[in-house]
Amino acid sequence: MRNSSVDRHSSPTSSKSNAGGRRRIMIWLLSLAAFGSWAIFTFFSQGMIMADRSEQLIQKEKQKQAATQTEQQLQTEVNRLQDPEYIGEIARSKYGLYKPEETPIIGDQK
């Protein structure tokens, strides 16, 4: 009999402790689900942001490459303008200027 009376008293107490344990487990699972949802949302939103930024980066790199090419062309032109022969060539072709000892040869224009 003694065993049966102990079983009766331990049964209500164990169900109350199980309820507290279940509550803690549910709170833990809900917090885990909330964190997981936040992590998934953040992952996808950052993925979209990174895709946009990579497109912008590609466009900026193309602009930089075009600017670098233009800079190189202008630097080549500046270097050529340092040469007196090139300056004389431009003066003859664009402006029709000649040195005093030169005789211009003009071809037939049709």
Give pLDDT tens digits for 12-67.
555 666 888 999 999 999 999 999 999 999 999 999 999 999 999 999 999 999 99
Q: How far apart are CA 31 and CA 39, in angstroms?
A: 12
Would the pLDDT of 1 be above 50? no
Q: How far apart are CA 36 and CA 29, in angstroms?
A: 10
Give pLDDT tens digits for 58-109.
999 999 999 999 999 999 999 999 999 999 889 888 888 888 888 777 766 6
Nearest to 61 by CA among 50, 69, 72: 69
The identity of residue 17, as a single letter, is S
pTM: 0.53
Q: Where are the alpha helices (DSSP H) in the chain?
A: 2-81, 84-95
